[in-house]
Chains A and B, each alone.
Chain A
Amino acid sequence: MSSSSKDQILAAIRRQQLPPRELPPLDFAPLVYDDPQQHYTETLTGIGGRVVVANSIEDVQRDLDQHDLYVEARQICSLVPGIARANVDLDALDDPHQAETIEFAVLPAKFAVAENGALWVTDENVKHRVIYFICQHLAFVVPRDQILSNMHQAYERLSFDSPGFGAFIAGPSKTADIEQSLVIGAHGPKSTVVYLLG
């Protein structure tokens, strides 16, 4: 069935011999910021996120303790060591559906991208990747010296040679599908705070 369709499609493409082409070099100079941290902060704030600079994990905790979303959350999951009140162990859940009741999650990110406010996250050491999308509120912790300017620099860091999941996440989920009115909190987290650590 499908192998013959494959052959037919490939044959249909090959019937039209197009002259071979060269891949374009990515040799233009992309925008690089003098102060990526400042630009990251502006961009993420502009898309509904909050940025907090933290010198230590204790600073992170102090900021969390000031916010009702964290203080009042009954189920908290943290994959960042040193966060208090984390009472859901993601590894102990057999089924990702069980993560539905998690209200607040504190998760690590690998690096940040200043041009668009995104963070790079993966499923490495994250048993259920759904945690990035299913919790009601989300805090990320990313090393402060890991803020890149643009996406070209980001992909220089990435390799995809083994199975896995990775995503750029830029702020809380949102929709503008009703009359172009922005609503923060569509299906994913309703708020996002990013701690720049170190």
Chain B
Amino acid sequence: MPTATEKFNHADDATAFVANHARAKWHDQALWFVRQKRDRMANSLPEWEALRETASSIKAYTIAHLAELLEQFERQATKLGAHVHFAKDAAEHNEIVLGILQQHGVKKAAKSKSMLTEECHLNPFLNRHGIDVVDTDLGEWIVQLRNEPPSHIVLPAIHIKREEVGELFHEKIGTEKGASDPTYLARAARRKLRETFMEAEAGITGVNFAVAETGGFVVCTNEGNADLGVSLPKLHIACLGIEKLIPQAKHLAVFLRLLARSATGQPITTYSSHFHGPRPGGELHIVLVDNGRTDILRSDEFRRSLNCIRCGACMNTCPVYRRSGGHSYQSTIPGPIGSILAPSRDAETYYSLPYACSLCGSCDDVCPVKIDIHHQLLTWRREIAVRGYLPWSKRLSMRMMSLVLRRPWLYRLAGSLGRFALRWSPRFMIYNGLNAWGKQRELPLAPKQSFRALYRQRQAKNGKS
């Protein structure tokens, strides 16, 4: 979360990120590699587009019938022996989780990756109440040890280099100094986190899909951390946003086929675990969280952003995300989808995120549930301007632009003035703080003539008037 004292602007944080050119390039390529894996997987299924279309329709159905589906899920889950809780907001979610943990005298909990608990800032809350929460997904554990938030929803440590992980592990768990081999480091983490799994008195997980028809839910991981975390202790707490519901079990086929292929270019995650009720002798709590989702549901413009299954494909493909890093969004969910969701929560603070977009539309093309992401970002820009959240510099330049674009004579005049100025002005007149387009790049050489003049000449040469 941005601090209140300084107004957050994505471009400022992105500037800091790209200042290290080599690193920004490395980040860009790491994500593009994942995007290419996704393409190979998508292309291997002839029915890929039919799957996306179906998934989108299932989600639209879910949102249109969400109240009934939630009631059905609660009924079914309760019948299976689970305890179902509803939380209006992050604070209530955290209180519910704390209450359950305290009731069982839990001092240490193993958590698997969950963007919802990140959104609710559950870890610091539980820490303040004397409960130790360990994030057990390797990437998530790395960022937890570094005391920073994940920079990507599927690849939490994508911004960190192996040497930095080596340094961190040397300091925190005593691996050899200078060791940076991923296998060596991952094995060291495995040994350390095994201790956590053995000690934890509760497992906390997120949820990928909850099935209204059956009252069960599915958790997907590659590492097996969620399953270890909830199969050893007696207590399992599963936290999910209310939009994670799907109507029927057979719909899982559609979503499981799309999820991992879109996320990391795998045919499926290693583990897709289906939990229906507590295990024998255990206790299962399910916490359904609103935290602003019903507000989004009531908005005709942004409702479809609730389709999101958190695969991260829009981040991997986004030219802005790849070159500005997840932390520059200062929001739990970064990237294109995060730039829709964050202003839905607080448009004034996150006014700059819908502008962190070139409107190229690549996100729409890869989204497995066909959210019209770039259209929604454009809609947010209008909304933010209407609500008056733009800084004066942007407001002024927009007003100037509209002044010029509405008057053809002024547009022509501005064009010729611009072409003259760009050719003949001294450097300091063009490359200065007022011209954002001249930062870190050379402007193209201005043509001598306008397009109109060129076109007139061509027509004259071809003997047409």
Q: Which residues of A contact B (CB under 8 A)?
A: 2-3, 5-6, 8-10, 12-16, 18-24, 26, 28-31, 43, 47, 96-97, 100, 115-118, 123, 128-130, 132-134, 150-152, 154-156, 158-181, 183, 185-189
Partner of A179, one of B63, B137, B161, B249: B161
Q: Give the residues in chain A near B71, CB-CB below 8 Å.
A: 10
- A175 close to B252 (CB less than 8 A): no
A48 CB → nearest B CB, Å: 9
Q: Give the residues in chain A near B256, CB-CB below 8 Å.
A: 151, 168
Given contacts A8-B88, A155-B253, A161-B214, contact A123 B138 (CB under 8 A): no
- A10 close to B182 (CB less than 8 A): no
Chain B 193-236 near chain A by CB (<8 Å), digits 1 or 0:
11001100000000000010010100000111101100110000
The answer for the CA separation of A112 and B10 in the assembled complex, in Å, is: 47
Given contacts A151-B253, A188-B228, contact A177 B57 (CB under 8 A): no
Chain B 270-297 near chain A by CB (<8 Å), digits 1 or 0:
1111111111000000001010001001
- B411 interfacial by beta-carbon distance below 8 Å: no
User: Could you write out 17 A-B pairs with CB less than 8 Å apart?
Assistant: A3-B86, A5-B88, A6-B86, A10-B71, A13-B66, A31-B45, A123-B279, A133-B224, A160-B276, A164-B276, A164-B277, A174-B270, A175-B139, A177-B137, A177-B138, A178-B186, A187-B225
The number of inter-chain residue pairs (CB within 8 angstroms) is: 244
The answer for the CA separation of A189 and B225 in the assembled complex, in Å, is: 11
Binds A, one of B116-124, B150-158, B321-329, B374-382: B150-158
- A186 close to B182 (CB less than 8 A): no
- B162 interfacial by beta-carbon distance below 8 Å: yes
- B85 close to A2 (CB less than 8 A): yes
Partner of B272, one of A156, A167, A183: A167
Q: Give the residues in chain A near B53, CB-CB below 8 Å.
A: 24
Partner of B61, one of A8, A21, A30: A21
The answer for the CA separation of A52 and B194 in the assembled complex, in Å, is: 30
Given contacts A24-B57, A187-B190, contact A2 B231 (CB under 8 A): no
7 A-B pairs with the lowest CB-CB distances in the bound complex, closest first: A188-B224, A163-B277, A177-B139, A186-B223, A116-B267, A28-B50, A130-B231
Does more than half of chain A's interface fall in helix, strand or loop, or is it mixed? loop
B219 CB → nearest A CB, Å: 9
The answer for the CA separation of A176 and B225 in the assembled complex, in Å, is: 14
The answer for the CA separation of A90 and B250 in the assembled complex, in Å, is: 32
The answer for the CA separation of A121 and B248 in the assembled complex, in Å, is: 20
Q: Give the residues in chain B near A28, CB-CB below 8 Å.
A: 47, 50-51, 54
The answer for the CA separation of A168 and B138 in the assembled complex, in Å, is: 21
Given contacts A164-B277, A173-B224, contact A185 B252 (CB under 8 A): no
Given contacts A10-B67, A14-B67, A164-B276, contact A26 B137 (CB under 8 A): no
- B64 close to A47 (CB less than 8 A): no
Most chain B CB within a 10 A radius of its CB, from A97, A134, A169, A175 = A175
Partner of B274, one of A14, A118, A160: A160
Q: Closest residue of chain B to A95, judged by CB? A: B232
The answer for the CA separation of A20 and B64 in the assembled complex, in Å, is: 6
Q: Closest residue of chain B to A130, judged by CB? A: B231
Q: Give the residues in chain B near A31, CB-CB below 8 Å.
A: 45-47
Q: Give the residues in chain A near B198, CB-CB below 8 Å.
A: 97, 100
Given contacts A2-B96, A5-B92, A178-B182, contact A154 B276 (CB under 8 A): no
- B24 interfacial by beta-carbon distance below 8 Å: no
- B275 close to A180 (CB less than 8 A): no
Partner of B86, one of A2, A166, A189: A2
- A96 close to B231 (CB less than 8 A): yes
- A21 close to B65 (CB less than 8 A): yes
B73 CB → nearest A CB, Å: 12
The answer for the CA separation of A3 and B71 in the assembled complex, in Å, is: 12
Given contacts A6-B86, A10-B70, A97-B198, contact A175 B223 (CB under 8 A): yes
